Amino acid sequence: MALVRGCNFPDDLYYNVDDNVWARRESDGTVIVGMTTYGCVLSGEIVAWTAKKAGRSVDQNKSTGTVESGKWVGPVKAPVSGEIIAVNEVAVAVPSTINADPYGAGWLVRMKPCDWAGESGTLLNGQAAAEAFEAKMQTEGFPGCA
């Protein structure tokens, strides 16, 4: 697992660095999507997760739903295009789960990707993701995760 300025970035995930989201390809071909620890720290304590309904198709880099914190309301963008097939009801009911465990219990949606092979090439993982997050944090003057 990469550790960048105190923020964890698991090596087995694919990241859209610009939008602070991750994707994990499951053995059944579906993709789990969530926010990075960096995104969670920037957002502050998340108080609401309002996802698009299962069955909705979402284009790459378009909203899968909206997170709300005391200082920010914004979209969680899809790292790849696809159909939302499940919403994490735990994160809906207890939004603080997203901050507490963004790579585990705080996942947001499960998608059936349209073109994983083609679109996942725009995502970064491993050392490349860690380097990109370090550069982004440097540019944004981010001191680090607590």
In this predicted structure, what is the pLDDT of residue 3?
Answer: 87
Query: What pLDDT is recorded for position 1?
Result: 82
pLDDT of residue 10: 96
Interatomic CA distance for residues 31 and 107, integer angstroms: 11
Tell me which DSSP letter residue 115 carries. -
pLDDT tens digit sequence for 59-88? 999 999 999 998 889 999 999 999 999 999
H or E element in which residue 99 lies = helix 96-100
- pLDDT given at position 53: 97
Specify whether the CB–CB gap between 104 and 112 falls below 8 A: no
Domains of the chain: which residue ranges? 20-115
Residue 146 has pLDDT above 80, yes or no: no
Q: Give the CA angle between residues 97, 26, 53 to the nearest 5°.
A: 55
Per CATH, is 20-115 categorized as 2.40.50.100? Answer: yes
- In one-letter notation, the amino acid at residue 78 is A
3-class secondary-structure state, position 140: helix
| Residue 3 CA to its chain's centroid (Å) | 17
- pLDDT for 2 equals 84
For 103, the 3-state DSSP assignment is: coil
10's tokens: 């698991």
